[in-house]
Amino acid sequence: MRIQQQVPLAPLTTFRVGGPARYFVEARSEEEVRAAVAEARSRGWPLFVLGAGSNLVISDAGWPGLVLKIALSGISEERDGQRVRFDVAAGEDWDSFVAHAVARDCAGIECLSGIPGTVGGTPVQNVGAYGQEVADTIVSLRALDTSSGKICELQNADSGFAYRTSIFNARERGRYIVLQVTFELIFGGAPRLEYADLKHHFAGRSNPPTLAETRDAVRAIRLSKAMLIVPGDDDCRSAGSFFKNPVLTRAAFDQLHERSPAIPNFPARDGMVKVAAAWLVEQAGFPKGLTRGPVGISRKHALAIVNRGGATAADIINLKNEIQQRLLDTFGVELRPEPVFVGFDQQP
């Protein structure tokens, strides 16, 4: 295990902003992960675990302790009839694993194609898109419990999965480091075509699309919305969707709908209603393509705050705060950010 010092973090993120890590370790084995955590604890260093850096805003001051980059690799599988279990190391690239599963004709995550990040990051946020979320297919995960230093196995039911959340980014934030995730997919299963964008893409076909065609369609749709990482495209210097779609009680939605009857909405769990954050952002006066000096909003998607070049974390936070305040004043709706804020004294 090699500990480096003053390692720039901006190049390790999709936003390309943020200061350096005081100390930095890239762990390629579970033992190195355990050793790095023990070293940080013994020296009193604050610890931050880094995956692909695709859902982060790192402060301009950087991180004052140890940044631990998870680089564990490996995929294994076991088939039982139509059910196929994949054990996937946390450092594996998520989209590459989706491609692997689709190539093996295994359904369950094809609509999650094109999402940047590592496999280990997906259960933390319960990553989801186009009618699927990882909680639908995760059986269990292997994790290091930093409070005890022991490796444990957590089942799906232990993980507290809900819309874009889990115990790993909520009540147990910082306690567990994901080392491996086990998914159960369906061999020969049909793709999920629940969302309007996908239905529209395949409209008029006489035969249902394959998993591979569905994956290609999802990636094409994400590309059209600047939600696919394309080197050289400044619309891709972002953390993807910066805000979550608000989930409202029926009473709160009825009140909002009375004022704004055109707002797109979708049924959510427990009688709640999910409303489109992108629509709210544009209606509040933040159109696609907006530019504020070095920052702005994607030309293709109103939910993506982007680094036009040379932006600081402070620039991003200022635009984020302005959008949130305007929506609160205009619609009475609180927008919650999706990215993790790193190195700030408190969430900005």
Tell me the pLDDT of the chain (348 aa) as tens digits.
899 999 999 999 999 999 999 999 999 999 999 999 999 999 999 999 999 998 899 999 999 999 999 999 999 999 999 999 999 999 999 999 999 999 999 999 999 999 999 999 999 999 999 999 999 999 999 999 999 999 999 999 999 999 889 999 999 999 999 999 999 999 999 999 988 889 999 998 889 999 999 999 999 999 888 777 877 787 889 998 899 999 999 999 999 999 999 999 999 888 999 999 999 999 999 999 999 999 999 998 999 999 999 999 999 999 999 999 999 999 999 999 999 999 998 767
CB count in 10 Å sphere of residue 164: 18
Which residues are marked as active site?
A: 164, 241, 338
- What pLDDT is recorded for position 270? 87
Is there a domain that residue 229 lies in?
A: no
Residue 262 and residue 192 share a domain: no
Residue 242 and residue 307 share a domain: yes
Last residue of a domain, one of 70, 97, 112: 70
- What pLDDT is recorded for position 348? 76
The domain containing residue 47 runs over which residues? 4-70
- What one-letter code names the amino acid at 187? F
Residue 219 and residue 80 share a domain: yes
Roughly what angle, to the nearest 10 degrees, separates helices 211-224 and 94-103? Answer: 150
- What pLDDT is recorded for position 292? 93
Report DSSP state, residue 194.
-
Is there a domain that residue 347 lies in?
A: no
pTM, two decimals, is 0.87
- What pLDDT is recorded for position 269? 84
**What is the maximum span of the chain, computed from C-alpha positions, in angstroms?**
64
- What pLDDT is recorded for position 6? 98
Residue 156 and residue 258 share a domain: no
CATH number of the domain residue 39 falls in: 3.30.43.10
Beta strands 305-307 and 291-292: pairing type?
unpaired
User: What are the backbone angles phi and psi of residue 86, rounded to the nearest 5°?
Assistant: -115, 125
Instruction: State the Cα angle at 229 between 10 and 129, rounded to 5°.
Output: 110
Residue 154 and residue 130 share a domain: yes
Last residue of a domain, one of 175, 201, 224: 224
Tokens of 156: 């799906």
Q: What domain count does the chain have?
A: 3
Is there a domain that residue 348 lies in?
A: no
Last residue of a domain, one of 53, 70, 87: 70
Residue 214 and residue 255 share a domain: no
Residue 249 and residue 126 share a domain: no
